[in-house]
Amino acid sequence: MINKRLLIKNLLAHNDESSFYDKKRQLNLHTREGKGKFLKHICALSNSNPTNNSYIVVGVEDQDNEIVGDDFFDDSRIQNLVNAFLENPPKISYENVPFPNLPKDKVVGLVTIKPKSKTSFFKKGIHTILPNTVFIRIGSNTVPIEHEYEKNYQNTETVIGIENNSRNSIGYTLDGVIDFMNFRHKDLSSKYKVFKELFVICWAGVPKKVRDKTFLSRVDIELINEQIKLFYSAQDEVTITYDEDSFTIIEYVPLGLNDKTSYYPLEKQTIRFYDNGYYKIDREILFEPPEFNKKMLFHIYNSNMALLGKLQKGSTLTDRENRDLQNLPSTLMICYLNGFEEAKQKLIDAKPLLKQFPNVYLFFKESLRILRKMKYDLQ
C-alpha cells in the first residue's frame, strides 16, 4: 500500500511540475472558470501519461513547494464532473492527506489520474474552452493541440520508481496511530479498528446520545495505512457502525430556519475491506431537503438579501441581524432547494462578504459542500 503522505513528499522532491504531475495552491470548483481549469489539467495529464498514473497536488505554494494545505474536500463525485465534460474520461480519485505541521482542518489534496490509452477531449465547452479541444502536457505547461501527437511513454519508469519509494511500513502505520490518538486528538474520545489484519482506521469525536442513537461531532476519521483523511467536519454529526469487513459512516447535517435543531441524513459512506489487500469505498446520497411554505420562504429570502445589502454597504448590524447572519448560508441553501434558483448564485457571490465572519464562513463552506455533493450525484 502506498503511503500518500510519502508519495506527495516524493513528488515535490523529484523536480518541479512536470508532464506527470501538477501542483495547485487550491481548487475552485464553485465557478465555471475554476472547473474549466481543473478539467483542462485532468485532460492534459491523462493524454500525456497513457501507461502510468499522473498526479495533481493541492495545497502547495507554487514558488517554493511550501505545504500550506487546503480545506478538507470530500467530493469523490468529481469523477462525475469529469465524465460530464470529457470524452474518454480517465478514472480519477481525490484524497485528503493530513500533514503534522498543518491545522486539524487543513489537508493536502491528492488527485490521482489513472492511465488511459484513448485520447481525452472536451465533448462540450466550459468557460473559454471549446468543444473538441485536446490538451497535453509539455514539461510543466498545459497546452491545447489541433493535430495528432505522439504519445509519451517516457514517464512510466520514473513514476513507478516514485510510487515504490512511497510504500507503507509497519513503522509508519504505528507512528500514525500513536500520533492520531495521543497527540492530535488527545482531548477527544478516540478509537481504532483493524480490518483484515492489514488496514487500520482511527476515529475521534465528541459523543452525544440522542434517544437510542449515538452521534459524534467534531469528527475526524483516517485510514492510517495510506495517511488518508476519510472524513472531517467541525459542524456536522455522524454515526459510525462497523463489522469485520466494513466501516460505515452516515453524515447528518443540521438544518432549519432560524435554528439548526433538525438533523437530516446527508450521505452514507461504506469502506469495504477484502482479503487480497484491497478496499473499496461506496457512497450513497441520502439527503432529502426539507420543504417549507413558499410565502414564508419568500419573506425570509428578501430579508437575507437586505442583510447582504447592508454588508455590501459596510453598515453596522443589529444583534438580531448578527444572529440572522449565522443562519444565512443554510437559509439560502434551503431557499435554493425549495425552488429559488437564484439563491445559490447569491450565496456564492456573498463569499467575499462572509469571509470576514469566521463562523459564518464555515457555514458557507458547508452549505456549498452539500450543494456540490447533490449536483455531482445527479450528473
pLDDT in tens, 97-131: 999 889 888 999 999 999 999 999 999 999 999 99
Q: Which three cell numbers stand for residue 6?
A: 510519502
Do the Cβ atoms of 142 and 79 come closer than 8 Å?
no
Query: What pLDDT, on the 0 to 100 scale, is given for residue 189?
Result: 85
Question: Residue 232 pLDDT more than 80?
Answer: yes
Query: How far is the CA of 4 from the CAs of 77, 193, 247, 276, in angstroms?
Result: 20, 20, 21, 20
CA dihedral 295, 296, 301, 304 (to 10 degrees): 150
Which string of b and e fits 284-294 if b means at least 16 CB within 10 Å? ebebeeeeeee
Q: Check residue 183 and report its DSSP letter.
A: I
Which string of b and e fits 191-228 if b means at least 16 CB within 10 Å? eeeebeebbbbbbbbeeeeeeeeebbbbbbbbbbbbbb
User: Which residues, 6 or more positions from 217, have their beta carbon under 8 angstroms from its beta carbon?
Assistant: 205, 206, 208, 236, 237
- pLDDT tens readout for residues 216-227: 988 999 999 999
- Closest by CA position to 364, among listed 319, 311, 318: 311
Do the Cβ atoms of 36 and 73 come closer than 8 Å?
no
pLDDT band of residue 379 (cuts 50, 70, 90) is: very low
- What is the C-alpha separation between 360 and 1, in angstroms, rounded? 39
Amino acid at 113: I
> How much is the pTM?
0.84
Question: Residue 235 pLDDT more than 80?
Answer: no
User: Which residues, 6 or more positions from 54, have their beta carbon under 8 angstroms from its beta carbon?
Assistant: 20, 21, 45, 46, 48, 112, 113, 115, 155, 159
Q: Which three cell numbers stand for residue 93?
A: 480519485
- What is the C-alpha separation between 142 and 259, in angstroms, rounded? 47
Which percentage of the chain shows pLDDT scores above 70?
97
User: Which residues, 6 or more positions from 323, have their beta carbon under 8 angstroms from its beta carbon?
Assistant: none
Do the Cβ atoms of 91 and 132 come closer than 8 Å?
no
pLDDT band of residue 374 (cuts 50, 70, 90) is: confident
